[in-house]
A and B are shown apart, each in its own frame.
Chain A
């Protein structure tokens, strides 16, 4: 049975809710059941932001994620707040800008320069969320590549398709080419 619960965390304005929607839509294209939800504070920008996606080949009843199989963290605050919600043997993808790497012996941690790649390689900090989706794909293959690319193009502003597909590819490559930044007991590069 396929049943994956993902939590994308960071601060408001980082596009995490959109990333959650894209991931959910990709899974839907693959014929899977999905529920996407989010929580946010009163601020439109800044503050803690969290998007959740449940992907399953069975009917999804409870719509909220409690313990997750995979978590993305783009800020220290979000990482610290939700680190304990990752299931044993789960995965944490954290941005390399986060100074304090959490101590969890039972999970696999990927420390990846998502924001830096968006800023420096692509020159657009706002595509961090799409790069992050690329890393999630490369690690989990939870959705098909074709569906993910279609979902990205369906949800981003028209005219930015090329940039965003490039951002996805940067995400794939960040995992493939940064083996040294993966650690933890489940690291597949060990």
Chain B
């Protein structure tokens, strides 16, 4: 028997373990399948580390509560699925404009509306990007295994703290519910990033002032003597509302820029057998696991196929996709929807190579054989 720190763990459980390691001290949520285990485990584990859990009256209340807690200085998270993710959009926009770090987990299920509660889907790719109203940019990450859920949850917290922005962690019913072996890293192997604290005296503090060359303001917490104001209205560096058009333009440009101009730091991708590939499959989450099996099968049959897997879904890995499209004859985007990420891949890579899509919205995971057949048929 192997006596290492290897555990059998569910995806949703790995998310909670990682969140606590990343410093989560507050969770607010509302029960919804297939994300409920994240709330249940947070309820059980948080008080043991001095944190707090609350089951709120609805999804909007939950995201509102975590934003409040984060502004009070505490790392916070909520989790939901499809219908709840629609309701979270109000709060996501507020967190964007108020630059409040927080993590929103969406364990995707079949939609639209109540859809297929216990079945997987990947139909929230575009909602993660554009679900809340108004111009903004967003960070959305999508792991594909239990181990990676652990690592990427920590990354989600780190990016939210570093860029003072909500980070969406996309999972799906398959990876959220399945159990796999995981070897938890030691504490000293994990890098934790905390929001930058004010470097000035309270009387000089301006909550949205950015230093020369930086795009992210320093963040004080409520009750620490800074007595600042937070609003979802357009605001200048003082935090107070204004309708000054120059300030409005600058604010939205900076909110977008702090993410889009830092893609080198934010975007993470993975690849498999792409070096000599003629065809590249583009897939993420549980679908990428089917795609990887398909690559192996097609390779055995002599076809030079590889896998490109964006872990950062938003901001778009456009540089990597363009580079890839110049190397291969064909890109095949495989996703459990009718073609959402495909729209972006085709937009940036379509002028260099042929881009195809294969999708499924039946609530069943796409199988390796389906992908093999599709690639051979076309």
- Direct chain A–B contact by Cβ atoms under 8 Å: yes
Contacts of A66 in B (CB 8 A): 367, 369
* Interface presence of A28 (CB below 8 A): yes
9 closest Cβ contacts across the A-B interface?
A: A37-B178, A36-B179, A61-B293, A31-B2, A61-B292, A62-B293, A25-B8, A61-B289, A29-B1
Contacts of B286 in A (CB 8 A): 63
CB <8 Å contact, A36 and B178: yes
Residues of B within 8 A of A (CB): 1-2, 6-8, 117-119, 174-175, 177-181, 286, 289-290, 292-293, 296, 365, 367-369
Sample (20) of A-B pairs whose CB atoms are under 8 Å apart: A29-B1, A29-B2, A30-B2, A31-B1, A34-B8, A34-B179, A34-B181, A36-B180, A38-B177, A40-B118, A42-B118, A60-B180, A62-B368, A63-B174, A63-B178, A63-B289, A64-B174, A66-B367, A66-B369, A150-B1
Given A28-B6, A61-B296, CB of A35 within 8 Å of CB of B178:
yes
Q: Is A146 an interface residue (CB 8 A)?
A: yes
Q: Is the interface of A mostly helix, strand, loop or mixed?
A: mixed
* Most A-side CB within 10 Å, residue of B7, B8, B178: B8
Given contact pairs A62-B367, A63-B174, enumerate 12 new A-B contacts (beta carbons under 8 Å). A21-B8, A28-B8, A33-B181, A34-B179, A34-B181, A39-B118, A40-B118, A62-B290, A63-B178, A63-B365, A144-B1, A147-B1
A134 smallest CB distance to B (angstroms): 19
Report Cα–Cα, A150/B3, bound state, in Å.
12
CB distance from B321 to the nearest CB of A (A): 23
Indicate if A88 sits at the interface (CB-CB under 8 A): no
Decide if the interface of chain B is mainly helix, strand, loop or mixed: mixed
The minimal Cβ–Cβ distance linking B105 to chain A, given in whole angstroms, is 19
Other-chain contact of A146, B1, B180, B289 (Cβ < 8 Å): B1
- A111 is an interface residue with CB less than 8 A from chain B: no
Closest to A33 in B: B181
Q: Would A42 and B1 count as touching, CB distance under 8 A? A: no
Q: A41 within 8 Å of B by Cβ?
A: yes
Most buried by A among B118, B180, B292: B180
Chain B residues whose CB sits within 8 angstroms of the CB of A175 once the complex forms: none
Tell me the minimal C-beta distance from A141 to chain B in angstroms.
15
Bound: A150/B286 CA distance, A: 30
What 1/0 flags go to A14-53 for Cβ under 8 Å of B? 0000000100110011110111111111100000000000
Q: Shortest CB–CB separation between residue A36 and chain B, in angstroms?
A: 4
A39 CB contacts on chain B under 8 angstroms: 118-119
